[in-house]
């Protein structure tokens, strides 16, 4: 009997896995056409000054509006895009679209704040990455100071020298660079002072427990102290509660991104968010 139940449980797991694999195959098959046929969509999540609740920036986050599967989140297709090399055309589209959106907002008289786009390490390692990004900005006559690039620590692991060189050239061109999901990678501390970056984004896994877990809080305090020493700006990711806002303000951390202020929303809704002043 117990064996039977075990058997059916495994059958159930297998079926789930089969569905997942099937979905992945569909996504892999359809991704190239999706990029070409305009099925990708950008949502934007506000970055907020916790003292004034002012909008100080936003992050562009890609979604895939699949004709049969509906709105597919990035965690389901970014790794596929990386494995197939499609991440390069995908992120070129993201960059261009986010910049065009900022210019559209400016024409509508919205306050101009920087937009951040995520750069995969695969894309970052392309030999022409700097030329390619700068060519897009030039083509659009985009103000470089309104662009931020978010990169993760994983890129640093194998290609430290190349990453330092590439990020330095971005910085020289007036583009700011943030280290995303900070604290989740390896050897964070040893190379940090060498990196030409402007900002650390503390990963939401540390922010999650900050009011309830002493270890999370200690880590966040240490990151804040260190970033001050290095002259880096800090963004706290994944703020969901008022208590987190209060604690972080006490710790002199003032910039946040999280559901407490707003989830990522379509371009038309960013400035409609009543919670924010702008």
Interface residues toward ligand C2E, by CB under 6 A: 45, 61-62, 73-75, 78, 91, 94, 118, 120, 150, 180-181, 204, 238-240, 257-259, 264
Looking at the Cβ atoms of 30 and 181, the one nearer to ligand C2E is: 181
Through-space distance between the first and last CA atoms of the chain, rounded to whole angstroms: 63
Question: What CA–CA distance (Å, rounded) separates 239 from 255?
Answer: 10
- Given Mg ion, ligand C2E, none, residue 151, with its beta carbon under 5 to 8 Å by kind, binds none
Residue 118 in the binding site for Mg ion (CB under 5 A): yes
Taking CB within 5 to 8 Å according to partner kind, which of Mg ion, ligand C2E, none is near residue 74?
Answer: ligand C2E
Question: Tokens 């809080």 — which residue?
Answer: 217
Nearer to ligand C2E, 76 or 193 (CB): 76
Question: Which 159-198 positions form the footprint of Mg ion (CB under 5 A)?
Answer: 180-181
By CB under 5 A, the count of residues binding Mg ion is 5
In the bound complex, what is the minimum distance in angstroms from residue 47's beta carbon to Mg ion? 11
- Which among Mg ion, ligand C2E, none contacts residue 75 (Cβ within 5 to 8 A by kind)? ligand C2E
Q: In angstroms, what is the minimal distance from the CB of 239 to ligand C2E?
A: 6
Contact 216, 237 (CB under 8 A): no
- Nearest approach in angstroms of CB 265 to ligand C2E is 10
When CB distances are held under 5 to 8 angstroms depending on the partner's kind, the choice from ligand C2E, Mg ion, none that residue 238 binds is ligand C2E
From CA 246, how far away is CA 158, in angstroms rounded? 38
Residue 47 binding result from ligand C2E, Mg ion, none, given CB thresholds of 5 to 8 Å by partner type: none
Question: Is residue 148 close enough to count as binding Mg ion by CB under 5 A?
Answer: no
Q: List, in sequence order, every residue forming a beta bridge with 257; answer none if it has no partner.
A: 237
Q: Which C-beta is closer to Mg ion: that of 30 or that of 219?
A: 219
Taking CB within 5 to 8 Å according to partner kind, which of ligand C2E, Mg ion, none is near residue 259?
Answer: ligand C2E
- The residue (of 142 and 182) whose beta carbon lies closer to ligand C2E is 182
């Amino acid at each position: 009997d117990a064996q039977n139940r075990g058997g059916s449980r495994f059958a159930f797991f297998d079926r789930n896995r089969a569905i997942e694999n099937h979905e992945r195959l569909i996504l892999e098959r359809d991704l190239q056409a999706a990029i070409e046929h305009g099925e990708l969509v950008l949502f934007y999540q506000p970055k907020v000054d916790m003292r004034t609740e002012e909008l100080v920036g936003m992050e562009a986050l890609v979604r895939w509006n699949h004709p049969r599967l509906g709105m597919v989140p990035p965690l389901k297709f970014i790794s596929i895009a990386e494995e197939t090399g499609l991440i390069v055309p995908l992120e070129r589209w993201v960059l261009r679209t986010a910049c065009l959106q900022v210019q559209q907002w400016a024409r509508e008289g919205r306050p101009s704040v920087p937009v951040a786009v995520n750069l995969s390490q695969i894309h970052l390692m392309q030999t022409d990455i700097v030329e390619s990004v700068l060519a897009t900005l030039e083509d659009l006559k985009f103000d470089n100071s309104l662009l931020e690039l978010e990169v993760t620590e994983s890129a640093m692991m194998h290609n430290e020298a190349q990453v330092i060189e590439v990020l330095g050239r971005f910085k020289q061109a007036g583009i700011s660079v943030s280290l995303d999901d900070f604290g989740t990678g390896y050897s964070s501390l040893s190379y940090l002072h060498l990196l030409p970056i402007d900002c650390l984004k503390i990963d939401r896994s540390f922010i999650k427990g900050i009011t309830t877990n002493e270890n999370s809080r200690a880590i966040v305090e240490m990151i804040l102290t260190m970033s001050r020493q290095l002259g880096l700006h800090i963004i706290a990711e994944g703020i969901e509660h008022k208590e987190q806002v209060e604690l972080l303000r006490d710790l002199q951390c003032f910039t946040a991104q999280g559901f407490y202020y707003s989830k990522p929303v379509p371009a038309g809704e960013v400035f409609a968010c009543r919670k924010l002043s702008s």
